[in-house]
Structure 1
Amino acid sequence: MCCGGCAKCLGVTLIPLAVLCTLANILLFFPGGNVETSDHISEEVWYFGGILGSGVLMVFPALVFFGLKNNDCCGCCGNESCGKRFAMFTSVIFAAVGVLGAGYSFIVSAIAMHKGPKCSMLDGTWGYPFENGNYLGNQSLWYDCQSPKSVVPWNLTLFSLLLIMSGAQVVLCSIQAVNGLLGTLCGDCKCCGCCGGDGAV
């Protein structure tokens, strides 16, 4: 398979991940499946890690990776080597953008899971009753959150999904960064050891 073929596979995988991350972040605005005022929503949700980092920013590298298959062995302006090298170099830049976006979402999700959700506590005030992630291994502490109902498993599940999916995005973009670097250095598919001299798969 050509280097561009590998990039296309990565791009196809990144698109559904970006959509799912966006949906997960949107659902976090409804803690426990309830509609709450903005000051009752966890602070980390407003950082838009899933919407911006793993969502919008991930669309650009995904589209670039997806289109590399068409540029992999065709060149540009009649200069095949120039076209292939430039296309692969561009993918490295966009891969770096993807790593930064997904990394941002990963960090926000990890902090949110460690901190726990914002909720109505036993004394009737709203705040963060958990410290240092102590609630993760002790479900009896979850009752310290009186409302919204089921906010702890709700936030924990969605932020866990964001953590996993953004981590997968970091890995996929890193793979393309290496793939793109090899394509930039090699120039043509045969040099990369991917295709025959005619550019066929």
Structure 2
Amino acid sequence: MCTGDCAKCLGVTLIPLAVLCTLANILLFFPGGKVVESNDHITDEVWYFGGIIGSGVLMIFPALVFLGLKNNDCCGCCGNESCGKRFAMFSSIIFAAVGLVGAGYCFVLSAFALNKGPKCNMNNTWTYPFLNGNYLSDNSLWSQCQSPVDIVPWNLTLFSLLLVMSGIQAALCAIQVVNGLLGTLCGDCKCCGCCGGDGAV
């Protein structure tokens, strides 16, 4: 597969993942699917916007860059026909690194939130009743959260989705780092004059 085609495929995949991560983070502001009386009742990690900023906004930029690589003008740079495409592929590595940082931020934050557990009402006190992820293997502990209703499966599901999707995003950005290096060295198979002017990688 051409490096440009590969980048476009990665970009197409990253955009819906970024949208889904953003939606998951937004839903976490409504524990159990309900509007809370106070912002203090929302799990602290939700306010760090891992899905909105990390896997959302920071992921849109590399995704758009990857999508645009196939349309980049590859010809006529400093007398070298393939220089423009090579530079574009090199710049994609930088944006892929930005995506890696964003996905990594969301991944670590989600893992920490899953281990810590949700903030909930326990005997009229809003606190974190679980320790070191003990509730993950023993769902009988979930009853300690008296409200919001179904807060434990709600947070568990959404943070798990963020963890998985940010992990996929990180993997895709890592692939683009390798793909970008190959594109920098060899250009794109459809780029005029790449790799010695024979038009093939």
Report the TM-score, using the length of structure 2 for normalisation.
0.91
Q: Is the contact between residue 3 and residue 188 of structure 2 (CA under 8 Å) also seen in structure 1?
A: no
Q: Does 1:82 align with 2:83?
A: yes
Does residue 130 (structure 1) correspond to residue 101 (structure 2)? The answer is no
Q: Quick check: 1:68 aligned with 2:69?
A: yes
Distance 1:185 1:132 in 2: 47
Q: C-alpha displacement at 1:69, in angstroms?
A: 1.3
User: 2:87 & 2:76 partners in 1: Cα distance?
Assistant: 9
Alpha-carbon distance in structure 2 between the residues aligned to 1:188 and 1:5: 9
Secondary structure in 2 matching 1:74: coil
Distance across 2 between alignment mates of 1:28 and 1:110: 15
Please give the alpha-carbon distance, in whole angstroms, between the structure 2 residues aligned to 1:76 and 1:103: 38
Residues in 2 aligned to 1:10 and 1:157: alpha-carbon distance in whole angstroms:
25
Deviations 1:161-181 (A, max 9, x none): 000000000000000000001
| Distance in 2 between residues matched to 1:106 and 1:64, nearest whole Å | 22
Specify every segment of 5 or more residues in structure 1 that has no aligned partner in the other structure, as ranges: none
Cα contact 2:4–2:188 (8 A) shared by 1: no
CA contact (8 A) 2:74 2:83 kept: no
Q: Give the % identical residues.
A: 76
Contact 1:190 1:197 in 2 (8 A): no
Question: SS state of the match for residue 135, structure 1?
Answer: helix
The CA distance in 1 between the partners of 2:30 and 2:103, in whole Å, is 23
Quote the Cα distance in structure 2 between the aligned partners of 1:84 and 1:65: 12
Q: Verify the 8 A CA contact 1:28 1:45 in the aligned structure 2.
A: yes
CA RMSD of aligned residues (A): 2.2
1:66-93 residue CA offsets vs partner (Å, 9 max, x unmatched):
011123x733546422201110000000
Unaligned runs of 5+ in 2: none
Closer, same or farther in 2 for the Cα pair 1:21/1:188, shift >3 Å?
A: closer
Is the 1:119–1:148 Cα contact (8 Å) retained in structure 2? yes
CA distance in 2, matches of 1:8, 1:167: 19
- Which position in structure 2 is the counterpart of 1:186? 186
Residue 190 of structure 1: CA displacement?
A: 8.0
Q: Which residue in the other structure is 2:39 paired with?
A: 38
State how far apart, in whole Å, the 1-side matches of 2:7 and 2:160 are: 27
1:26 aligns with 2:30: no
Paired with 2:84 and 2:166, the residues of 1 have a C-alpha distance of 31
User: In 1, distance between residues paired with 2:76 and 2:169?
Assistant: 29
1:15 pairs with 2:27: no
Letter aligned with residue 117 of structure 1: P
* Whole-angstrom CA distance in 1 between matches of 2:23 and 2:187: 39
Q: Which residue of 2 aligns with 1:174?
A: 174
User: Do the aligned residues in 2 keep the contact of 1:116 with 1:128 (CA within 8 Å)?
Assistant: yes
Aligned to 2:54: 53
1:93 aligns with 2:94: yes
Count of aligned residue pairs for this structure pair: 196
**Relative to structure 1, is the Cα distance of residues 17 and 76 closer, same or farther in structure 2, using a 3 angstrom cutoff?**
farther
1:133-170 C-alpha deviation (Å, 9 max, x unpaired): 00000000000000000000000000000000000000
Q: TM-score, normalised by structure 1?
A: 0.91
- Secondary structure at the counterpart of residue 52 of structure 1: helix
